[in-house]
Amino acid sequence: MIEILPPLLDALSYILVLILVALGLMIVFGMMGVINMAHGELFMVGAYVMVVCQSLGLPFLVGVLFSGILVGLLGLLIEAALIRHIYTRTLDTILATWGLSIALKQGIVLIFGPEAQSVISPLSDTVSLGEFSYPLYRLLLMGASIALIGLTFWLFLKTDFGLTARAVIARPDTAATLGINTRSLYRRSFVIGTTLAGIAGALVAPLISVDPQMGLGYLIPGFLSILVGGAGPLAGVLAGGAAVGGTNSLLTVWISPVAAQIAVFIMAILVIRLRPEGLLGGRRGK
């Protein structure tokens, strides 16, 4: 029983971070219909901001805050310069954000070089219970992820902003005719989504190698989580993230990384075939 706890906790930490990434994707797609192919690179930028903050000797929490703020500001710039001009053109958003992802990666290579960077964990202690021990930072990561996920759900389900946002998601044209400033709502939602990506990148940085290709490893599972869970209700991200993240993490440990990826894609294909709207259903309003 003790031997199974570490992989289960590792799977839980991966699931929670994946949900954070997928939440950012879901907010942007659900609100604006924009498929943001650069979301993984925004996650990567958050990790590199943490690298810079640590090299300057700043506390870890300050690095996390700076990562969220700077990536959020970058998201604001991207929305103003690029996204707002192609809201209704889905194919153009894919091509434009894909090009942006390439530009961000090459920019990171020019500044930091192609080699991997590392971030020292702020907590090197472990929590012990009998023969069982587990890194304290991973527990902190899980707690922070749960808090951020809960805060995001509260924002979209319990506030006036969330009520307006859900109205725009359900009936964007009707909401606009009723006087809702959809452009402002789109802008704020895009910034929220990118901020979540930046914070997630900063939180994960001590656990993985920080390199220009790291975003892809979370972008694809993030999209699969939305497809599996459903692109309508926010809760679909929880179901999809748990299914994709749990399958990927546990099978990587128990079988092999290749088998885990194959299993995740097979699961996604079966869900799309049997339940095209995802496990929890729902579809973006028109």
pLDDT of residue 130: 67
**Structure confidence at residue 286 as a pLDDT band (50, 70, 90):** very low
Between 220 and 33, whose confidence is greater?
220
Q: Is residue 168 part of a domain?
A: yes
17: CATH: 1.10.3470
Query: Where are the alpha helices (H) located in the chain, listed in sequence order?
Result: 5-32, 39-55, 60-81, 90-112, 136-158, 160-170, 172-177, 182-204, 216-229, 235-254, 257-274
Would you place residue 281 in the very low, low, confident or very high pLDDT band (cuts 50, 70, 90)? low
Higher pLDDT, 42 or 231: 42
Number of structural domains found in the chain:
1
In terms of average pLDDT, the best of 42-51, 87-96, 116-125, 214-223 is 42-51
In the prediction, which pLDDT does 70 show? 95
Confidence of residue 11 (pLDDT cuts 50, 70, 90): confident
Q: What is the pLDDT of residue 285?
A: 43
Lowest mean pLDDT among 98-112, 122-136, 202-216, 264-278: 122-136
Beta-carbon count within 10 A of 197 CB: 35
DSSP structure class, residue 37: T
281 falls within a domain: no
Q: Is residue 74 part of a domain?
A: yes
Q: What is the mean pLDDT of the segment spanning 51-62?
A: 92
Model confidence at 231, pLDDT cuts 50, 70, 90, reads: low
What percent of the chain lies above the pLDDT cut of 90? Answer: 26
Note down the domain range covering 216. 2-121+131-274
The whole-angstrom separation of Cα 113 and Cα 96 is 24
**How confident is the model at residue 146, as a pLDDT?**
93
C-alpha distance from residue 194 to each of 10, 43, 46 (Å) = 25, 8, 10
Instruction: Specify if 283 maps to a domain.
Output: no
What pLDDT, on a 0 to 100 scale, did the predictor assign at position 31?
Answer: 67
What pTM was computed for the model? 0.87
**Residue 126 domain-assigned?**
no
CB 229 within 8 A of CB 237: yes
> Is there a domain that residue 280 lies in?
no
